[in-house]
DNA sequence: TGCTCGATAACCT
DNA sequence: GGTTATCGAGCAT
């Protein structure tokens, strides 16, 4: 996983991220998950994107250096996590919508008590809750990882993936920019 | 300065 | 399957 990987078309990166791992380091220990669901959001050409109307204080990271996290607060209670990814001079980020626990199940459960295995990380806000990711990691560079908080791990093989319409949005619903791993 | 609504999830029935 | 909690960004006054 290097900077160049994220400096490519946002939709392509969204698809490629399926099957990759996120390694989260906390005081309590290590959490490792495999990404199973993503969505691509672009710039002026994507009416569902936070960057659609140009740069704002919130969306400015989507215009900036690739590989950084863009985390935003939504519905008064939740956080969603994106990775900035776009071709040079372009705008975009990939929303990480879901993952599968690989290591640190007890830590994930501690972050999300009383949840079944199915509902542990199968949603963007559930994921950030399970990995204990909040606004303070907005702008964090997973490729530099100075504080050893979280980093990427390359997938060892491609998973079978399907492409669908993005969900939970009211505009740009015709684009097939959502990717998810087919359950084995 | 005010108002609307959202890239949602949890908790009901 | 339907409802609600909850608040900030963005845009209109």
> How many structural domains does chain A have?
1
> Cβ of residue A172 near strand B, that is under 7 Å?
no
> Cβ of residue A75 near strand B, that is under 7 Å?
yes
Per-residue DSSP letters for A91-156? Answer: --EEEEEEEEEEE-HHHHHHHSTT--STTSSSSHHHHHHHTT--GGGTT-BTTT-TT--EEEE--S
Task: Report the relative pairing of strands A29-41 and A178-181 from DSSP bridges.
Answer: antiparallel
Structure confidence at residue A111 (pLDDT)? 94
Distance CA A150, CA A32 (A): 10
**CATH code assigned at A124:** 3.10.300.10
> Cβ of residue A134 near strand C, that is under 7 Å?
no
> Cβ of residue A59 near strand C, that is under 7 Å?
yes
Question: Going residue by residue through chain A (184 aa), what tens digit of pLDDT does each one get?
Answer: 899 999 999 999 999 999 999 999 988 999 999 999 999 999 999 999 999 999 999 999 999 999 999 999 999 999 999 999 999 999 999 999 999 999 999 999 999 998 988 899 999 999 999 999 999 999 999 999 878 889 898 999 999 999 999 999 989 999 999 999 997 6
Q: Report CA(A64)–C1'(C11) in Å, whole number.
A: 24
Q: Report CA(A182)–C1'(B4) in Å, whole number.
A: 38
Structure confidence at residue A114 (pLDDT)? 87
> Cβ of residue A129 near strand B, that is under 7 Å?
yes
The boundaries of the domain holding residue A54 are 3-181
Cross-strand bridge partners of residue A152: A22
Nucleotides on strand C lying under 7 Å from protein C-beta: 5-11
Structure confidence at residue A184 (pLDDT)? 63
């Amino acid at each position: 996983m290097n900077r160049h990987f994220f400096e490519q078309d946002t939709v392509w990166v969204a698809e490629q991220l399926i099957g990759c791992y996120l390694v989260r380091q906390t005081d309590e220990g290590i959490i490792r998950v495999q990404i199973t669901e993503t969505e691509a959001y672009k710039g002026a050409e994507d009416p569902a994107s936070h960057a659609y109307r140009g740069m704002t204080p919130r969306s400015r990271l989507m215009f900036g250096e690739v590989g950084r996290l863009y985390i935003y607060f939504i519905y008064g209670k939740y956080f969603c996590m994106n990775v900035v990814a776009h071709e040079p001079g372009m705008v975009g980020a990939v929303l990480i919508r879901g993952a599968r626990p690989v290591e640190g199940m007890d830590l994930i459960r501690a972050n999300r008590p009383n949840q079944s295995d199915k509902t542990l990380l199968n949603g963007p806000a559930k994921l950030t809750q399970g990995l204990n990711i909040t606004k303070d990691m907005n702008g964090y560079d997973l490729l530099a990882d100075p504080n050893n908080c979280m980093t990427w791990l390359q997938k060892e093989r491609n998973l079978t993936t399907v492409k669908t319409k993005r969900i939970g949005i009211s505009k740009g619903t015709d684009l097939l920019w959502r990717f998810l791993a087919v359950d084995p």
